[in-house]
Structure formats: C-alpha cells, structure tokens
Amino acid sequence: MEARPALSFQRPGAKQLSSMGMSGALSSSLPVLPTPLEETYPKLLDSQQVSMERELVTRPLNHASQLSSNSSVVGHMFSSSSGFSTDLHYSSLSPHEKHSRQSPFISQSSTNAASLPVTHSSGSLQSTASHYAKENSASWQTDSLSSFLDFPVNTPIENSQVESSSCNAALASEEFTKWADQLIADDDALASNWNELLGDTSVTDLEPKMVFPVSKSSPNFQAHQSQVPLQLPATSGEIHAVANPTSLANSAPAKPRMRWTPELHEAFVEAVNLLGGSERATPKGVLKLMKVEGLTIYHVKSHLQKYRTARYRPESSEGSSEKKLTPIEEMSLDLKTGIEITEALRMQMEVQKRLHEQLEIQRNLQLRIEEQGRYLQKMFEKQCKSGVDKLKTSATTLENPSTPSLDTVQESPAKSELDASQVDHGKTGTDPVNANTALEESSQELGGKHKVSEANDPENSEPDACESSSQPSKRPRTDE
Amino acid sequence: MKFGKRLKQQIQETLPGWRDKFLSYKELKKLVRSISSAPTLLNGSFEYGRAEEEFVYLLNNEIEKFNAFFVEQEEDFVIRNKELQQRIQRVIDKWGPNGNHPSETDYKEEMAKIRKDIVDFHGEMVLLVNYSNVNYTGLAKILKKYDKRTGGLLRLPFIQKVLQQPFFTTDLISKLVKQCESTIDAVFPVEDEEKTREAREAIIVAGEGIFRNTVAALQSMQEIRRGSSTYGHFSLPPLNLPDSELIQSVQLNSPIPIV
C-alpha cells in the first residue's frame, strides 16, 4: 500500500540527513518542493496532501529571496550532528513562532534554523559540530554563523536525557564518510529540484555554498528507494539491503541499510580465513573474495572490525562492552554450587524464553491489527467512493472538495468496523450515537480542515456504511 | 502517562549503552500537546500542515535511530552467534569425551562458562526484540495521540510504514534466539527434579544482569497490557502469562547474591 502520511513528501535531502542523525533544519529552511511530490506520489489519496500541494506551489515563490541565506543555513546544518535535542529545539520553537508572522514560513524557518547553531554552541554537541566544521569547508561555518546573528533567537534549551551526544561522537568518526557520500547525493537531488522549481540563478548561489561536488546521480536511488523489501531469508550470502522506506522517500541516496545475515557472515568468515585470518585479511581482499553484489568496502571494513573484537576479546564482546554482573560470579565450582548455578541459569532461560514468546505473540498481534485496519480502510474507501461520486454530482453547495470527508470516513470506518468485529470493549454500541455529536464538535474545532458536518449531511442519504461510520478521527472516549 | 512511566522504567532497567536509544516518548508527547488543533489564522490548513511536517520529521528521526541501533546490534549478534558455536565446538573437540585431550574437569569448567555466556547471549537478543517492540508500541501510541489531538489521519499510513522498518522486522533475531535455545538444551545437563527444586528456592537477582533486565521487561509488558481506559480496537489484549508465579517469585532486589 502506497498511502503516505500527509505531507510526507517533505524535503528530499532531509531524509538522508535524518538517516545520519543530522539536524533537521534543512527541512524548515528549504521550501517544501511540490515537484518531488508529483514524481514520487502519483497517487495522492489523501486530500490533505492535495490541498497542501496546492498551497506549496505558491509558496516557493516566496522563497527565492531567502534561498541564499537558507543555503548557508543548510550548510551549517550539514556540519552539525544532531542529538535529538537539536530537533527538539527546532520543534519546540515552531509552535511558538506560529502565531506571529506575516510571511510565516520564511521567517519561522529562518528563526528555527537560527536557533540550532546557537543551541549547538551551548549544548554538548559543540565538539562534534566543530569536528565536522574542520572537515567541511570553513567558509560555510562562518557564513552561516554570521547570518544567524541577525536573527532573534529564542532557544529553550532542553537538555533532556534524550540528548544522544555520545552517539554523535561515535557518529563523527565512523560515519563521516558515509555521511559525506549521502550529502553529495543529497545535493544533487536538491539542486535539481530547485532548478526545476525556480529556474533562475538563485540556485547557483546555493551550489558554491554547498561545496560538495555534485557527482552522484540520484535517479538510481530513487528507484531503489521505492522498494520496500523486508529482510528476506538468505539463500547464499546475498545482501539484503533494505532501502529505508521512510516517508521522505524521495530523498535520493537511500544508502540501503546493510543487514548482515548468518549466511553472509559465513561467506565473510570463509573469505577471511582464506586470506589468512582476521588479523591478516584486508577489507579490500575480503570484499573481492566475497563477490557479493552491493557490498561496499565500508560494510566489510566495519564488519571486520567487529569480527576482530569478537574474536580476540570474547569476554568483553559477550558483554558487548557493558558492565554485566550476573548472579553467578563464582566460576570455580564444586558440584553443589554447580547445580545451583545451573538452576539459576535455567530460571533465567525460562524467563527469557517467556519474554521472547510474548514478544513474538505481541508482534503478530500488532501486525494483524494493522493489517485488518488497512483492509477495512480499503473496503470503505471503495464503498464511500461510490457514495461520494453520487454526492459530487448532486452537491453544488459544498465549498470544499468532498475528499476531506472521505478521509475521515476512511479512517473512522476502519476503526468502527474493527470495533464491532473484535472483542467488545463497551464502545461499539455507543459509536453511532456519538458519531454525530462528536462530528459537530470536531468539525467546529477543525474548521476548514475537514468540513465534515457540511459534507456529511448530504452524505447521510448515502449508503449506511458510510453514514454510520462518519466519525471524526477524534474518537469519543466513552469509557472514561 | 502510564506508558511513559513504564518506558522510563524500562530504560532505567535496560543495559546502560541502550538507554539513549529508546523512543523519546515524553518529548514527542509534549510536542503533540503543544500542537494546536485549532488553527488560528486564515490559512488554517497551512498551520496544520507545518505542524504535521515537524512531527513526521521527528518521528522519522526516531525511526532512523532505532534502525541504526537495531541493525548494528543485529550484526553483532550474528557475529557472536557464530563465535559461540565455534567455541562450543572447540571445547567439545578438545576436552570432550571423544576429544583430543579428554578432561572432565576442564570440560566441565569450560562448559559452565559457556552456559553462562550463552544464556546471557540469549537474553541480550531477547532484549533487543523487546527494544524493538517497546519502541513500536511507543510509536503507535504517540501516533494515536497525535491523531486524537489534531484530528489528523497520520496514524494509519504511518504505522504501515513503520511495520516495514528494519527495527521492526525482527525475524532474524528471533531465529537466532530459537537456535540459541536448542543449543542451550544441548549444552545443559539433563534436569534433575529434586535438585532443581532446592536450588530454585529464593533465588534473588542481583546487579545489573541480563536476567534482571528480562524480568523487568516482562513485568513491564504485563503492565502495559493491562486493560486501559483508552482501549480501542487497535489495542492489544491483556497479557496472559502462564506461570506468572515464576515472574513474581523472582524479586528484583539488590544485595543478596545467590549462595
């Protein structure tokens, strides 16, 4: 199913940034591009997307002037690694910003972007940011910093426990090359999109600031990106590259995520042994010997490193470098203690097995629940579409397209149907009753977004299924 | 907030290196709360669109975090799995009854170590599956909250996408877990009823062991799946654990080691 969440067409580059844990200002500082949307989301089911798309087409024109400064923002963002706190700052700002602007998008995004470097300098990310700065062209950093100082900055600093600064430090060294590659490909996508969008010279302002040579071609990756392969059972050491099917699917180089399987690892070990053992084998040699398509030297390199660690320090690798005290410390045993220890281990095993069992069950349940929801949604889609078609021909008073109501109808019927079919939680009976009242509530609140009440009144003459299920997605909480 | 508390507990109980890899549920919840559901400007849907953008963006970041961590751990487990098997084979070949230098004491000693290691290995893998599950649950919950709060329709399509993410496709790890279990059965001596009973009395878990983590995870799961007021058709039924006395009897206290 290709349904995307609303506004999932976002920034092409940001996906890669996010995949490397990069900060997200790119998303805010760049115009949301309708072009990629059209390319990769040919079937727009969601009406919100449709209306957003229309809005966005007009938006880019506002951005022409901002692009040059934004690009430097972008540059700076690339140079900083992201803890989640970065994103938080970004996110916590924007709601505040919402209510006071004239050209809302631009100033907000600039301000948002502006807040980030300030945060960086004050947060623990500073070291990694400066690390990146060294590797990147220095001109970026200074450019962007100076442009930031002009903006009023509102930085609530939330040093939550979420701040994954340690993670960033690790990122810094290992991932930089990968990140750089992605960045290059990102650039490509971005530049090409903007070209189409603006068709003027402002794009050239971007390129020098981006610095990275735009060499990789994005179209390949886009195709790759659209695949959603699950991890397939390995047959003979193939790479099961799972392209990351995030909602920002258009972001060009989804460096497909490498998932090592036991079979692949076997092939690896064989190759290493042929080359004289883990100490003597080189990544390049192993790569050549393995002859696995899609495997890069980076993959092999990091895997080899892990392999070496695991072999030559089996105790610490077992603990995955965690301090791990178990109940059983004493290793010199007489029989009695031995038995007790074994029994303790058995108990541990039981608990673990139990947990695993339950996890599997839970997972299957979750999968089935969602599957069912999806199925029902489709069914209602069909059913209501026929209803809406009739509606379209007759309704002349409707201001909005009737598709918004379709959405609410889609979502809620799935819910109400599941409700009816599954274990009764006491809500089923009350649903139809609450439907209309809740309907009014939500329609007032949501205002122009879902003109549900208007749309649904004429629709009440339509098939029952649609009518009774015309619940807003705000479910009434009747059990509370 | 119940899930949030539970999640926090789990994070505390989990392996130290994993603590920052979990879902930032609290922060996301704050964000959802702060997202205004009533657009105040004329371009109302614009407002809404931006908020949703942000939210989706953050969620994607979280997902990426999960994926990166999960895949890396998975890789580690694949390697360690192989190493363990080889190690067992080496011990059997060397000190086993049919080995090169059969030696009962050495064999027993090494096997004891292996048993401990393999049980912990099993536990770690299960904890990874638990990690995946907890984060998924958190995502599902936060999406539900979002839809509820903003009247959006983000949940259904988004969760479909989540279902396909590497961090949620735990098939390989589960397979390794099962393999591990059969290896363990092979490596453990046959159970002696009476001695088993004696040894099991009042075993108290100490320290920060894997055992403690798994017990905590199991208890947590039980709690989360207790019936709730916001029970819906997308909710999981209450957890039904057979032999739940086993879990109760294992008390998570600190000081007293096994004697």
* A76-116 per-position pLDDT tens digit: 444 444 444 444 444 444 444 444 444 444 444 444 443 43
Burial of B196 (0-12, 13-18, 19+ CB in 10 A): middle
Q: Is the pLDDT of residue A153 over 60?
A: no
- Is A174 part of the contact surface with chain B (CB cutoff 8 Å)? no
Q: Pick from B153, B169, B220 the residue to mutate for testing the A interface (most A CBs within 10 Å).
A: B153
Over residues A166-178, the mean pLDDT reads 48
Facing residue for A373 by CB, picked from B124, B147, B156 = B156
Look at B203 and A333 and tell me if their CB atoms are within 8 Å. no
| Chain B residues in contact with A246 (beta carbon < 8 A) | 60, 63-64, 161
Q: Rounded CA gap, A372 and A368, in Å?
A: 6
Residues within 8 A of A (CB atoms), B 100-139 only: 108-109, 112-113, 115-117, 119-124, 126, 129-130, 133, 136-137
Q: Rounded CA gap, A247 and B158, in Å?
A: 8
Candidates A184, A191, A206; CA nearest to A69 is: A206
Question: For residue A359, what is the nearest residue in chain B, using CA coordinates?
Answer: B130
Percent of chain B with pLDDT over 90: 38
- Is A159 part of the contact surface with chain B (CB cutoff 8 Å)? no
Angle between helices A452-459 and A431-446 (to 10 degrees): 140
| Chain A residues in contact with B241 (beta carbon < 8 A) | 354, 358
Q: Look at residue B94 in the predicted model and tell me its pLDDT.
A: 87
- What's the N-to-C CA distance of chain B in angstroms? 39
Chain centroid to CA A314: how far? 35
Question: How near does any CA of chain B get to the CA of A68, in Å?
Answer: 22
Residues within 8 A of A (CB atoms), B 220-259 only: 221, 225, 229-237, 239, 241, 243, 246-247, 250, 257-259
- B52-84 residue pLDDT tens: 888 899 999 999 999 999 999 999 999 999 999
Q: How confident is the model at residue B197 (pLDDT cuts 50, 70, 90)?
A: low
DSSP-assigned letter for residue A160: -
Beta pairing partners, A22: A81
Q: Rounded CA gap, A282 and A260, in Å?
A: 18
Q: Is the pLDDT of residue A270 over 70?
A: yes
- Is B50 part of the contact surface with chain A (CB cutoff 8 Å)? yes
State the DSSP string of A297-322: HHHHHHHHHHHHHHHH-HHHHHTTT-
AA letter at A195: N
DSSP-assigned letter for residue A215: -
- CB count within 10 Å of CB A212 equals 19
- B132-182 residue pLDDT tens: 999 999 999 999 999 888 877 889 889 999 999 999 999 999 999 999 999
State the DSSP string of A269-298: HHHHHHTTSTTT--HHHHHHHH--TT--HH
Lowest pLDDT segment from A36-45, B29-38, B205-214: A36-45
Q: Is the pLDDT of residue A31 over 60?
A: no
Question: For residue A47, what is the nearest residue in chain B, using CA coordinates?
Answer: B153
Q: How confident is the model at residue B232 (pLDDT cuts 50, 70, 90)?
A: low
Lowest pLDDT segment from A285-289, A464-468, B122-126: A464-468
Q: Look at residue A115 in the predicted model and tell me its pLDDT.
A: 41
Chain centroid to CA B166: how far? 15
Q: Rounded CA gap, B71 and B90, in Å?
A: 29
3-state DSSP assignment of residue A397: coil
Whole-Å CA distances, A166 to A124, A126, A129, A178, B21: 9, 12, 13, 19, 11
In the numeric block, which tokens belong to residue A169?
């430090």
Question: How near does any CA of chain B get to the CA of A114, in Å?
Answer: 16
The complex's ipTM?
0.83
| Chain B residues in contact with A355 (beta carbon < 8 A) | 126, 130, 214, 217-218, 221
Q: How confident is the model at residue B242 (pLDDT cuts 50, 70, 90)?
A: low
- B89-108 residue pLDDT tens: 999 888 888 888 888 888 88
Angle between helices B104-150 and B25-34 (to 10 degrees): 0
- A56-83 residue pLDDT tens: 444 444 444 444 444 444 444 444 444 4
Its sign, for the CA torsion B161, B166, B167, B169, is: positive
CA Rg value for chain A: 27
Residues within 8 A of A (CB atoms), B 170-209 only: 170-172, 174, 176-177, 181, 184, 188-189, 191-192, 195-196, 199-200, 203-209
Q: Look at residue B53 in the predicted model and tell me its pLDDT.
A: 83
Q: Rounded CA gap, A132 and A367, in Å?
A: 41
Whether the full predicted model's pTM is greater than 0.80, yes or no, is no
DSSP-assigned letter for residue B228: -
- A203-217 residue pLDDT tens: 344 344 444 344 444
3-state helix, strand, coil in chain A (%, to 5): 65, 0, 35
| Chain B residues in contact with A160 (beta carbon < 8 A) | 24, 26-27
- A434-466 residue pLDDT tens: 434 433 443 344 333 443 333 344 444 444 444
Q: Rounded CA gap, A274 and A257, in Å?
A: 27
DSSP-assigned letter for residue A240: -
In the numeric block, which tokens belong to residue B71?
């895949």
Candidates B146, B183, B72; CA nearest to A320 is: B72
Report yes or no: A401 and A359 within 8 Å, Cβ to Cβ: no
Q: Look at residue B82 in the predicted model and tell me its pLDDT.
A: 94
Facing residue for B57 by CB, picked from A10, A347, A449 = A10
Q: Rounded CA gap, A455 and A444, in Å?
A: 13
Question: For residue B47, what is the nearest residue in chain A, using CA coordinates?
Answer: A98
Q: Pick from A125, A225, A305, A342 the residue to mutate for testing the B interface (most B CBs within 10 Å).
A: A342
Question: For residue A96, what is the nearest residue in chain B, using CA coordinates?
Answer: B34
Count how many pairs of residues, chain A against chain B, have C-beta atoms within 8 Å: 412
Over residues A418-428, the mean pLDDT reads 40
Mean of the per-residue pLDDT values of chain A: 54
Candidates A334, A349, A339; CA nearest to B194 is: A339
Q: Look at residue B35 in the predicted model and tell me its pLDDT.
A: 76
Q: Which residue has the higher pLDDT, A25 or B153?
A: B153
In the numeric block, which tokens belong to residue B218?
């199991």
- Is A335 part of the contact surface with chain B (CB cutoff 8 Å)? no
Question: How would you label B67-87 residue by residue, b for 16+ Cβ within 10 Å and e otherwise?
Answer: bbbbbebbbbbbbbbbbbeeb
In the numeric block, which tokens belong to residue B179?
């393999």
Q: Look at residue A57 in the predicted model and tell me its pLDDT.
A: 43
Question: How near does any CA of chain B get to the CA of A308, in Å?
Answer: 10
In the numeric block, which tokens belong to residue A438?
């809740």
Question: How near does any CA of chain B get to the CA of A221, in Å?
Answer: 18
Q: Pick from B10, B25, B53, B132 the residue to mutate for testing the A interface (most A CBs within 10 Å).
A: B53
| Chain A residues in contact with B82 (beta carbon < 8 A) | 262, 265-266, 269
Q: Which residue has the tokens 């819906």?
A: B232
Candidates A478, A397, A480, A394; CA nearest to A438 is: A478
Q: Look at residue B196 in the predicted model and tell me its pLDDT.
A: 63
Name the helix (H) or strand (E) containing B158.
Answer: helix B155-163
Candidates B56, B49, B139, B152; CA nearest to A24 is: B56
Q: How confident is the model at residue A396 (pLDDT cuts 50, 70, 90)?
A: low
Q: Look at residue B241 in the predicted model and tell me its pLDDT.
A: 63
Report yes or no: A324 and A348 within 8 Å, Cβ to Cβ: no
Residues in chain B, total? 259
Q: Report the half-sphere exposure of B178 (CA within 13 A, side-chain side).
A: 7
Q: Rounded CA gap, A147 and A153, in Å?
A: 12
Candidates A272, A304, A307, A302; CA nearest to A290 is: A272
Q: Rounded CA gap, B122 and B116, in Å?
A: 10
Report yes or no: B195 and A339 within 8 Å, Cβ to Cβ: yes
- CB count within 10 Å of CB B180 equals 25
Question: How near does any CA of chain A get to the CA of B93, in Å?
Answer: 18
- Is A424 part of the contact surface with chain B (CB cutoff 8 Å)? no
Q: Look at residue A175 in the predicted model and tell me its pLDDT.
A: 54
